[in-house]
Chains A and B, each alone.
Chain A
Amino acid sequence: MINIIYSEFVKLKKSYILIVALFSGCFISGTIFITDMLRQRNELLTLTERVSFFEGSIVDIDRMSALFVYSIIFSLIAAYIFSREYTDKTANTLYAYPVGRMKIFFGKLITIYALIVLVYLIQILTTYLGLYIEWGVLPSAKFISSDIKVNICSILLQFLLMPIPILIANITRNIIVPIVYGLLGDVMVGLLLGAGANIYSQFCPLTLPILPFYHYHKGYPIDIVIVSGSAVITFSLFMFLCTYHYSKVDID
C-alpha cells in the first residue's frame, strides 16, 4: 500500500500538479495582500483596528478560496490523477501489477487527500504570513485556534466530495468533463451562497466545505440533520458507485 502511494507521488513529479497546488494555496491570499497594499490604508490605525482588519481579511480569504478556487482545483487534481492513466496510455501497465484494483483506487484517493491537505496548509501559512507583514500584529490565540479548527472541518468536508469528480473522470476517461463539473458546481455554489447560507442552500452537498466558514465566522445557523444527512448520503452513494465502476471497468 505504501509503495502504491509512493509511486503515485513519483508520477506527479513530472507534471504541473504540484506547482498548481502550491499556486492555488497562495493565490487568493496573495491577491488580497496586493490589493490591500495598493489601497494604502495602513497609516494611522490603532492596534485594535489593525487586529479587526486582520481578522476580516482572514475570513475573506478563507471564504473566497473555498468559493472560487478550490472546487475547480480539487476536481482538476482528482481528474488528473485518475485520467492520466488513460491519456498517457499507462492503464495497461498499472493494472498488470499484482495488486488489487481496490488498493490502487485507495492509493490514488489517499494521494488526492494528501494534496488537498497540502493546499490548505499552504493557504493558512501564506495567509498569516502575508497579513502579518501587512498589519504588523497578530490576532488573539483564541481566534487563530478557532480558524484552524474551521479549516480542518472544511478539509474533512472536502474529502467527502472527492468521489464525484473521480467517478466522472473514470466514466469519461478525460480531464475536460470533471473540470466543467467543477466550474458549474462553483458557479452554482456561488449563486446559492451569494446571499448568505440560508436553509435552502444547505440542501446542496456542494456547499458543504464552505458552510463552516459561514457558521463560525459569520454566525449563520446550520441545520445539523440536513447537513450531516447530505454529507453521509453523498459520500456513501458516490463512493459505492466509484468502487463498483472502478472494479468492473474494462482495460483498453
Chain B
Amino acid sequence: MLNIIYCELLKLKKSYIIPVAVIGGMFMSILFGLASLVFKENMQTFEQYSSNLEIPNILVLYTILFSLIAGFVFSREFTDRTSSVIYACSISRIKIFIGKLITIDMLISLVYLAKVISIYFSYYILNHTLPESTFTIIYLKYNIYSLIAQFLIIPIPILVTNMSKNLVLPVIYGIVGTIVTMIASGKMFRINDYVPLVAPYKFIMKTYIPNLIDLNHSVISGILCFIISMTICIYQYSKDDIV
C-alpha cells in the first residue's frame, strides 16, 4: 500500500500539480496582502482579514482546484496511455483506487496548509502582530473539520473523471459546483442546508459566526454523499474495461 502511494507521488513529480497546489493555496493571501499594502488598509483585525480571504477562497477557488487535482491524478493514466501498465501490476484495483484517493487527500491538505501558513505570514508582515492563542486553536480546529468535509465530497469529481476519461469534464463539474455552492451558501431555498457541497464553507464560517447551528445537516449530508459516491466509484472502477 505504501509503495502505491509512493509511486503516485513520484508520478506527480514531473507534472505541474504540486506548484499549482501551493500557488492555489497562497494566491488569495498574496492578492489581499498586496491590496492592503496599496490601499493602506492595514488597521484590520485578524478575524476581518482572514474572513475576507476565506470566503472567495472556498466559494470560488477550491471547488475547481480540487476537482482539477482529482481529475489529473485519475485521468493521466488514460491520456498518457499508462493505464495498461498500472492495471497489469499484481495489485487489486481497489488498492490502486485507495492509493490514488490518499494522494489526492494529501494534495488537498497541502493546499490547506499553504493557505493557513500564508494567511498568518502575510498578516504578520502587514500588522506586526499575531492573533491570540485561543482564536488560533478554534481557527485550526474548524479548518481541520473543513478539510475533512472536503475529503467527503472529493469522490464526485473522481467519478466524473473515470466515466469521461478526460480532464475537461471534471473542470466543468468544478464550475457547476462553484455556482451551486454560491447559490446554496445563501438562505434562498430551504434545501440549501442539505447540499453536501456547502459543508466545507459551513465549517469555515463556524469560526467567524459561532451561533451558526445547522452543522448537523452538513455532517449528515457529507457522510451520505461520501458513502453513496464512494460505492458507485469503486463499483465503476473495478468493473471498468482497460483501454
Contacts and interface: CB of A to CB of B under 8 A. Distances in A.
Interface of A: 15-17, 20, 23-24, 27-28, 31, 35, 38-39, 68-69, 72-73, 76, 80, 87, 172, 174-177, 179-180, 183-184, 186-188, 190-191
B189 A38 contact: yes
11 contacts: A38-B189, A68-B60, A72-B64, A72-B175, A76-B168, A87-B80, A176-B167, A177-B20, A180-B24, A183-B24, A187-B27
A187 B179 contact: no
B178 A174 contact: no
Given A180-B23, A184-B27, A191-B56, A31 B64 contact: no
Contacts, number: 81
Contacts of A23: 172
Contacts of B179: 27-28, 31, 68
B12 to A, nearest CB: 11
Given A172-B16, A186-B60, A187-B56, A35 B188 contact: yes
Interface of B: 15-17, 20, 23-24, 27-28, 31, 35, 56, 60-61, 64-65, 68, 72, 79-80, 164, 166-169, 171-172, 175-176, 178-179, 183, 188-189
Contact of A35 (B167, B168, B175, B183): B183
Contacts of A186: 60
Contacts of B178: 68
- Among A31, A73, A180, A190, chain B packs the most CB atoms within 10 A around the CB of A180
Given A35-B183, A68-B175, A191 B64 contact: no
B35 to A, nearest CB: 8
A76 B60 CA distance: 17
A73 B15 contact: no
A188 B31 CA distance: 8
B65 to A, nearest CB: 7
A34 B178 CA distance: 16
Nearest to A77: B168
